[in-house]
A and B are shown apart, each in its own frame.
Chain A
Amino acid sequence: RKEVEQDPGPFNVPEGATVAFNCTYSNSASQSFFWYRQDCRKEPKLLMSVYSSGNEDGRFTAQLNRASQYISLLIRDSKLSDSATYLCVVKDPGRRALTFGSGTRLQVQP
């Protein structure tokens, strides 16, 4: 089983739509959680951290369910510029580096 699993997509949605991505992680002791965004042929960039209580940043909402080992990202009012691959990322205790999912590709269409 992969340490971090994501649906690869692609998710094709019209502008203005609400879209949600899910991610599961295998290590119940994982400590920190993030969503990164990666544009085509570019480096990943931190989108937002994910807190136990859930957190929101503008049109983006991230949620964590520790009991189910599940992370989600909700994007409201999708823009064309939201088209990218969204990477679910986990930090495990005792590991220096982050563990990345393979990403979910989003294509927002006019």
Chain B
Amino acid sequence: SQTIHQWPATLVQPVGSPLSLECTVEGTSNPNLYWYRQAAGRGLQLLFYSVGIGQISSEVPQNLSASRPQDRQFILSSKKLLLSDSGFYLCAWSVQGGAEAFFGQGTRLTVV
């Protein structure tokens, strides 16, 4: 069966510090991968998606970047965090051509 791992679960970082969140998927190959952010009391906002290694599409301009160095690995990064980067970050995967997405446990980021 397929599983998705995302870490860390919580993170407190000072303004201006770098960020690296990692997500890996097991039990499938060539998945579509996604990074979403959910602000407190708000809906999910798509940040990035990837259909293959090295292929990243950005949905909104921002202080973040994403990379996919391996088929089942998706990384969200920032060189310098802003207070507004605080939120609940969720990695998700879906099969190519599929519709349903399955989420990792999420990372709750607080920038202080």
Contact = CB atoms under 8 A, between A and B. Distances in A.
Interface stretch (A11-19, A37-45, A54-62, A68-76): A37-45
Given A31-B99, A32-B99, A49-B100, A42 B43 contact: no
A14 B57 CA distance: 45
Contacts of B57: 96
A34 B43 contact: no
A43 B100 contact: no
- Interface size grouping (class) on chain B: 20 to 34
Q: Size range of the interface on A?
A: 20 to 34
Contacts of B66: none
A105 B34 CA distance: 25
A46 B100 contact: yes
Contact of A44 (B42, B44, B59, B99): B44
A43 B102 CA distance: 9
Contacts of A44: 44, 90, 103
Interface of A: 4, 31-32, 34, 41-46, 49, 87, 91, 96-103
5 contacts: A32-B99, A42-B105, A42-B106, A45-B103, A96-B57
